Amino acid sequence: MGLFNKQRTEPFSPHARLASRYHSARVNLLIVVALTVLNAILLASGGNSYFLFSVFVPYYTVLMGMLLCGKFPAEFYGEEFESFEFFGNGILIAAIVIAVLMLALYVLCYVMSGKWRGGWLVAALVLMTADTLIMLWLGGFDADALTDLIFHVWVVICLALGVHACYKLKTLPPEPSDDPSDPFTMAGQESPEEDDDV
């Protein structure tokens, strides 16, 4: 072996890799919720920006509420809306409330999955998968939607890996550590196998 082959880096332990993957899934879930809220605010304020890393159905719900209540500029509406009688603001308020409730489910999944409760991450995975399928059903599959679809698939895969990591970690024996502050060991923390799921 050569001289340079003697330099070795300490690899992450199985516990570290799995814990990192689980926490990464949770962080991605929180980012998705935050960007969805930002998208809805930009939409309601008349902005033209849209962040792809977000949930589709809550945003679409607010979009339809604004559309049906005539909140977009006149040039936005085509001939099919010439004789359309727009709804009152109550429809938009209801759409916003529904969107907030849907996003609250994602936030609940994030919060409750904090102590190795993998079942809540499973719930988030189901919600995001359903959101992706609904996006495809309503928007179809074309070049314009491809980037959004790629980001949705990325989030679904990340959540699935997080779920797998959580349940895999529960099958491993606790890893001893002299450093109780080490976030990738079981020392100084509740062991995953001691926590209950949903």
Kindly report the average pLDDT of the chain as a whole number: 81
Q: What would the pLDDT profile of 9-31 be if each residue is shown by its tens digit?
A: 445 677 788 889 999 999 999 99
Higher per-residue confidence, 80 vs 145: 145
Looking at the predicted structure, is the pLDDT value of residue 134 above 80? yes
Asked whether the whole model's pTM tops 0.75, one would answer yes
Higher per-residue confidence, 196 vs 129: 129
Higher per-residue confidence, 97 vs 7: 97
Alpha-carbon dihedral 91, 93, 98, 104, rounded to 10 degrees: 170
Q: Give dist(CA 1, CA 172) in Å, integer.
A: 34
pLDDT of residue 140: 72
Higher per-residue confidence, 195 vs 122: 122
DSSP states of 119-148:
HHHHHHHHHHHHHHHHHHHHH-S-HHHHHH
Q: CA quadruple 76, 78, 82, 84: dihedral positive or negative?
A: negative
Looking at the predicted structure, is the pLDDT value of residue 139 above 80? no
Q: What is the average per-residue pLDDT within 131-150?
A: 84
pLDDT of residue 18: 87
Which residues, 6+ apart, have CB-to-CB distance to 61 below 8 Å? 95, 98, 99, 102
Q: With contact defined as beta carbons under 8 Å apart, do 59 and 40 qualify? A: yes
DSSP label at residue 51: -
Q: Give dist(CA 129, CA 9) in Å, integer.
A: 38
pLDDT of residue 104: 96
Q: Give dist(CA 78, CA 14) in Å, integer.
A: 57
Higher per-residue confidence, 79 vs 55: 55
Q: What percent of the chain has pLDDT over 70?
A: 78
